[in-house]
């Protein structure tokens, strides 16, 4: 056979029973979720900053990083909603390379999905317990959503997944904001069709169950740039791009129009230091149009303790990305305070 079944993995309910969240964590998530909802419905004008490593590869380093965010959050929480980016699944364009902590709890060892499921849950819970900040993750595998659905406060659907039916339908059954990225082609209509689908109720098969969803009124736009037919990055964070996005929103009957702008990926051409300039341009663009300011709710930034990237190996630098290059902490901290000053 072309598919070898190694072992049956525990269902989400079993994992949650074995690794439950405390009443403290439940209360933190409830409070954060309510505040984040108010931002996306327009009741709060706080600016969202989803910030963290390209991929969460080490529990200690990730929790160290989030603790640094928490210290900044204490000073800027009146202006910003900081959501740590703790991405535990890494999409790979060719299927090769590190696929995230879900697959490899230790990047230097062979894949172990059972240990990965446990590791990502424990890491997310630890980050909340130590910092009081609930986080964001990417929904790379829709069937895995429920392993973390009692922990996360934000989910993103990536450029390669946004056209997938199961991602769209699963997003319609989630009660936190789900950001839909534009596809790598850059076609914004694909992204908006995904949002339309996610905001509606659906009936479908999920994890062997016949399920019906309520629709997610917080499904929204993430602009992350695109790649043309020659493989050249084409940004979509400029003022005219934001206005096009707003124009398309205005033609549709969608609930809670909102956009998060990804400062890295094709918007920066993966030149990670460009994120500082890009974020400042986005903030500047919001000053020209009140309607645009209401819709552009925040930014997404790839950042870690050490700047740049490195290869997986025995001598890895603590807190340095092993996937896409990230801003270092010093630049990140400065940028967070700059954002707070301008919001």
User: 2-29, pLDDT tens digit by residue?
Assistant: 888 889 999 999 999 999 999 999 999 9
What's the rounded mean pLDDT across residues 64-85? 98
- The position carrying tokens 């849950």 is 121
Mean pLDDT of all residues belonging to the chain: 96
pLDDT for residue 6: 87
180 within domain boundaries: yes
Q: Return the exposure string of 38-61: e unless at least 16 CB atoms fall within 10 Å of the residue's CB, then b.
A: ebbeeeeebbbbbbbbbbbbbbeb
Alpha-carbon separation of residue 201 from 146, 174, 192, 198, 324 (angstroms)? 18, 11, 16, 8, 36
Indicate the pairing of strand 226-227 with strand 233-234.
antiparallel
Residue 7 lies in a domain: no
- 97 pLDDT band, cuts 50/70/90, is confident
The beta strands (E) that lie in 111-244 are given as 136-138, 154-157, 178-181, 203-206, 209-212, 219-223, 226-227, 233-234
Q: What percent of the chain has pLDDT over 70?
A: 99
Residue 217 sits in a domain whose CATH number is 3.20.20.70
pLDDT digits (tens, 9 = 90+) for 242-273: 999 999 999 998 999 999 999 999 999 999 99
**Residue 239 within a domain:** yes
- Per-residue pLDDT, averaged over 190-217, amounts to 98
Query: Does residue 166 sit within a domain?
Result: yes
Q: Determine, yes or no, domain membership for 257.
A: yes
Asked if the structure places residue 77 within a domain, the reply is yes
Question: pLDDT band at residue 1, thresholds of 50, 70 and 90?
Answer: low
Q: What was the pLDDT predicted at 314?
A: 87
Note whether 59 and 123 are within 8 A (CB): yes
Confidence of residue 130 (pLDDT cuts 50, 70, 90): very high
Q: Write out the residue range of the structural domain in which residue 307 sits.
A: 24-91+98-342
137-160 pLDDT, tens digit each: 999 999 999 999 999 999 999 999
Other beta carbons less than 10 A from residue 186's beta carbon: 20
pLDDT at 264: 95
Q: Return the half-sphere exposure (C-beta side, CA atoms, 13 A cut-off) of residue 216.
A: 25
pLDDT at res. 294 = 97
Adjacent-strand bridge partners of 277 = none
How many domains does the chain fold into?
A: 1
Asked if the structure places residue 5 within a domain, the reply is no
Q: How large is the average pLDDT for residues 96-121? A: 93
pLDDT mean over 31-41 = 98
Does residue 65 fall inside a structural domain?
yes
Output the six-digit token pair for 125. 């819970």
């Amino acid at each position: 056979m072309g598919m070898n079944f190694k072992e049956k993995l525990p269902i989400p309910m079993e994992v949650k029973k074995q690794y439950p969240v405390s009443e403290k964590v439940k209360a933190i998530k409830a409070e954060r979720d309510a505040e984040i909802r108010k931002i996306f419905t327009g009741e709060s004008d706080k600016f969202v900053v989803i910030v963290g490593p390209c991929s969460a590869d080490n529990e200690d380093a990730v929790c160290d990083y989030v603790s640094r965010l928490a210290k900044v959050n204490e000073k800027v929480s009146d202006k910003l909603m900081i959501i740590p980016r703790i991405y535990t699944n890494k999409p790979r364009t060719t299927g090769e390379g590190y696929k995230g902590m879900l697959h490899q709890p230790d990047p230097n060892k062979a894949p172990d999905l059972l240990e990965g499921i446990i590791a990502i849950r424990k890491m997310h819970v630890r980050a909340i317990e130590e910092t009081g900040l609930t986080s964001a993750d990417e929904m790379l595998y829709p069937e895995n959503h429920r392993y973390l659905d009692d922990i996360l406060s934000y989910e993103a659907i990536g450029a390669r997944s946004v056209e997938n039916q199961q991602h769209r339908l699963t997003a319609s059954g989630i009660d936190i904001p789900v950001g839909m990225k534009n596809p790598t082609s850059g076609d914004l209509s694909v992204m908006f069709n995904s949002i339309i689908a996610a905001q509606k109720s659906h009936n479908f098969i999920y994890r062997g169950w016949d399920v019906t969803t309520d629709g997610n009124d917080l499904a929204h736009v993430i602009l992350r740039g695109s790649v043309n037919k020659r493989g050249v990055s084409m940004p979509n964070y400029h003022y005219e791009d934001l206005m096009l996005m707003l124009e398309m929103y205005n033609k549709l009957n969608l609930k809670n129009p909102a956009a998060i702008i990804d400062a890295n990926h094709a918007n920066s051409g993966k030149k990670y230091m460009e994120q500082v300039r890009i974020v400042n341009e986005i903030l500047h663009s919001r000053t020209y149009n009140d309607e645009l300011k209401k819709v552009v709710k925040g930014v997404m930034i790839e950042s870690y303790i050490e700047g740049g990237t490195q290869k997986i190996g025995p001598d890895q630098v603590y807190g340095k990305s092993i996937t896409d290059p990230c801003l270092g902490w010093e630049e990140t901290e400065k940028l967070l305070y700059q954002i707070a000053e301008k919001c």
